[in-house]
Amino acid sequence: MKEELRKALPANTQNDIRTIRALVKRIEGGQTSALPELRQAIDCTPAIMEDYGNLAKITERSLIRTIYGGDILAEEATRKKLKAMREGIIGDDASPLVRLLVERVAICWLQVHHLDTVYAQQMVNLSNRQQEFYQRSQERAHRRYMSAIRTLAQVKRLELPTLQINLSADKQINLIDGQHIS
C-alpha cells in the first residue's frame, strides 16, 4: 500500500522534499547561511504542496477502504465527516500551507479513528502481540494528531495578516485581521 502511494508521488517531488528537509535541518542546527539556498529550494513548494495535497486524498481513500472494507454507507459517512471537519477549520481565505496542514490533521484523525475502531472491534480476539502493537500504534497516532493540531494552530496564528496604514507623521491606524486595534 505504501509503495502504491510512493508511486503516486512524482520522483522530483520526493527529491525536492529531501533537499528541503536537509536544508531545514542545517538552518535549525544554526547554519543560517543556508537560508538563501532554502529560499531557492522553496520556490517549488507550491507544486510540492499540490502533490502532497493529492497524496493526502489518496491516503484518505486508502485508509477509509482499509477501515470499512467496502461498507459504502460507513465510507460515505466518514468522508462527509472529514469534509465538514476541513470546512470547519479551513475558513474562507486559507493559504495553501494552512490547507495542507488541515489535510494532515484530517489524515491523523482518520488514523486515530481507524486504530480505535479496529481495536474496539477485535479486542476480544487479539493476541498479546497484537494488543501490544495496537496500543503502541494508538499512542503514536494520538501524539501525531495532537502535534498536527498544535502546528496548525501556530501557523494560523502567525499568518494573521497585519496591515498598517500611516495616515500622517503623527497618526497611525493598526489593523489586525480586519479589526481596528489602535
Q: Which span (2-10, 77-85, 86-94, 173-181) binds other proteins, by CB under 8 A?
A: 2-10
Measured from the CB atom, the residue of 51 and 171 that comes closer to other proteins is: 51
Measured from the CB atom, the residue of 45 and 81 that comes closer to other proteins is: 45
Site string for other proteins, 16-55 (x = CB under 8 A): -x--xx-xx--xx------x--xx-xx--x--xx--x--x
Reduced to 3 states (helix: H, G, I; strand: E, B; else coil), residue 175 is: strand
Q: Which of residues 99-158 bind other proteins (CB under 8 A)?
A: 100-101, 103-104, 107-108, 111, 114-115, 118, 127, 129-130, 133-134, 137, 140-141, 144, 148, 151, 154-155, 158
Is residue 94 involved in binding other proteins (CB under 8 A)?
no
- Residue 30: count of CB within 10 angstroms of its CB: 8
Nearest C-alpha neighbor of 99 from the set 55, 49, 65: 49
Measured from the CB atom, the residue of 63 and 85 that comes closer to other proteins is: 63
Measured from the CB atom, the residue of 122 and 172 that comes closer to other proteins is: 122
Per-residue buried b or exposed e for 36-54, using 16+ beta carbons within 10 Å of the residue's own CB: ebbeebeeebeebbebbee
Determine the Cα–Cα distance for residues 124 and 68; give it in Å rounded to an integer. Answer: 19
DSSP code string of 81-137: HHHHHHHHHH-SS--HHHHHHHHHHHHHHHHHHHHHHHHHHHGGG--HHHHHHHHHH
What are the C-alpha distances in Å from 28 to residues 18, 22, 25, 32, 149?
15, 10, 5, 8, 22
Determine the Cα–Cα distance for residues 33 and 100; give it in Å rounded to an integer. Answer: 28
Q: How far is the CB of 167 from other proteins (least distance, A)?
A: 25
Binding residues for other proteins (CB under 8 A):
1-2, 5-6, 17, 20-21, 23-24, 27-28, 35, 38-39, 41-42, 45, 48-49, 52, 55-56, 59, 62-63, 66, 97, 100-101, 103-104, 107-108, 111, 114-115, 118, 127, 129-130, 133-134, 137, 140-141, 144, 148, 151, 154-155, 158
